[in-house]
Homo-oligomer: A and B are copies of this chain.
Amino acid sequence: MHIVDLIAAKRDGQAIGAEDLHRLIAGYTATDIPDYQMAAFLMAGYLRGFTDAETVALTDAMLASGDRLDLSELSGPTVDKHSTGGVGDSTTLVVAPLAAELGMQIIKLSGRGLGFTGGTLDKLESIPGMRTDLTTADLVAQVDRIGLAVCAQTDDLVPADRAMYALRDVTATVGNTALIASSIMSKKLAGGAHAILLDVKVGSGAFMKTVGDARELAEVCVALGTSAGRATRAVITDMSQPLADTVGNAIEVREAIEVLRGDRHSRFAELCLDLAGHLAALSGTAPDAAAGRELAARALHSGAGLDRFRMLIEAQGGDPRVVEDTSLLPIAPISLPIHATQDAWLATVDAEAVGRASGALGAGRETLGAVIDPAVGLALDVKIGDRVHDGQVIGRILARTGDEARRGEHAVLAALGWSAQAIQAPPLIHAVVDPPASGPDHRPMARTAAHVS
């Protein structure tokens, strides 16, 4: 089909065949098809939706656009974990060492996206000396030796997604379930791991604002992974407030180290154990998630998880002494406490606004190529449902200047909503999404064509 006819067919609500979708994606990746035609196609698809078969074909086509990681030399079980993104979400730093300690081989490839706070790579790079640009050979050798690696994905991995994501970002075509799912899953499938755990965030700090939307995305992703022969599960987790107590880069690494030391008992620590438990179940390392969680908790409390984190740092050129002495991590000169201004229960947090406050301090990247300041960030020590007293210190701002710190304090306070009555804490995990028992062929994916009424 000629490209204009293909755009017209999608515009008119027709399903596009797999062969045509492959040609579209291959042509776009090769820059034979220009951005403006892909933009028109994406908007037509956003509004008209994609069928299950189209979503599978789109994912296949994106996967076919580049290299795939070959993990055949690893003994396994190989696992991967993906978060759809939130504020104060540094679970990888805790979960990956625990998973490795439980005998899994975990390869975490990350891109460098835009965001209020840095990504996993930026956080790790706040550790002096730490490198995240491993070659594939080094990556596989490292995982074989110590069970884990966290590194930047190469440009050869799903180049179609990189180009399409950049285009979607500037053409208001990000928020379509099929497009999001094919973007996530093409990269996960290219990553090569046999077991894939998806952490789909929902709430004020997440892209998905309702559990229903998150479940729709989770179901499509799980179906895509399962139909590609991978053990795939999604957990829908709460992002109605920052997950960890800190938001930034070095400050989040510090918190992760404290969790691995067993020093912090928090929602963040609980979720890390839950996720490690699900990974263990998914990979066959434990009979079920509860048993896996129990194993992970033991690895954490014995200090073995922290040891694995040290091995990761050492293997990737970082200074391993940070796990004992977090003062080796960079820290901004100004530390301004945030005080509560009333006696009340914390009722709501605009987690995105808290993330923006951290980004405004310099912890994020608004344009590609912008330099992240690893030393700035913030702590927010209260969670929804906590009771505070007027004047109580509920957090602090790490900033380069006093002015920036005061602006950060105001921004954080403006993001908090209070109640005179006691408030229930939100659940940590809203749902677990597994493939239907009868296999992916016997149950339709979530519908994605419901945007136009």
Interface residues of A (CB under 8 A from B): 4-5, 7-8, 11, 34-40, 42-44, 46-48, 167, 169-173, 452
What chain B residues lie within 8 Å of A170 (beta carbons)?
4, 36-37
- Tell me the complex Cα distance, A278–B37, Å: 41
Tell which of B4, B35, B172, B452 touches A35, judged by Cβ atoms closer than 8 Å.
B35
What chain B residues lie within 8 Å of A173 (beta carbons)?
11, 40
- Tell me the complex Cα distance, A42–B40, Å: 8
- Tell me the complex Cα distance, A171–B5, Å: 9
Write 27 A-B pairs (CB below 8 A) sorted by A numbering: A4-B169, A4-B171, A4-B172, A5-B172, A7-B43, A11-B43, A11-B46, A11-B47, A11-B172, A11-B173, A34-B35, A34-B36, A35-B35, A35-B36, A36-B38, A36-B39, A36-B171, A37-B39, A39-B43, A40-B42, A40-B171, A40-B172, A40-B173, A43-B47, A47-B47, A48-B452, A452-B452
* Known A-B contacts A36-B36, A40-B39; A47 and B172 likewise in contact (beta carbons under 8 Å): no
14 new A-B pairs (CB below 8 Å) besides A7-B43, A11-B47? Answer: A4-B171, A4-B172, A11-B46, A34-B35, A34-B36, A35-B39, A36-B36, A36-B39, A36-B170, A37-B171, A39-B39, A40-B40, A40-B173, A44-B172
What chain B residues lie within 8 Å of A171 (beta carbons)?
4, 7, 36-37, 39-40
- Tell me the complex Cα distance, A157–B345, Å: 64
Q: How far is the CB of A16 from chain B (nearest CB, A)?
A: 13
- Tell me the complex Cα distance, A44–B43, Å: 6
Q: How far is the CB of A35 from chain B (nearest CB, A)?
A: 4
**A452 in contact with B42 (CB, 8 Å):** no
Q: How far is the CB of A187 from chain B (nearest CB, A)?
A: 23
What chain B residues lie within 8 Å of A34 (beta carbons)?
35-36
Q: Who on chain B is nearest to A452 by CB? A: B452
**B47 in contact with A44 (CB, 8 Å):** yes
- Tell me the complex Cα distance, A34–B46, Å: 20
What chain B residues lie within 8 Å of A40 (beta carbons)?
39-40, 42-43, 171-173
**A172 in contact with B8 (CB, 8 Å):** yes
- Tell me the complex Cα distance, A43–B41, Å: 8
Tell which of B7, B8, B172 touches A7, judged by Cβ atoms closer than 8 Å.
B172
**B7 in contact with A47 (CB, 8 Å):** no
- Tell me the complex Cα distance, A432–B169, Å: 47
What chain B residues lie within 8 Å of A39 (beta carbons)?
35-37, 39-40, 43, 171
Most chain B beta-carbon contacts within 10 A, residue among A40, A48, A167: A40
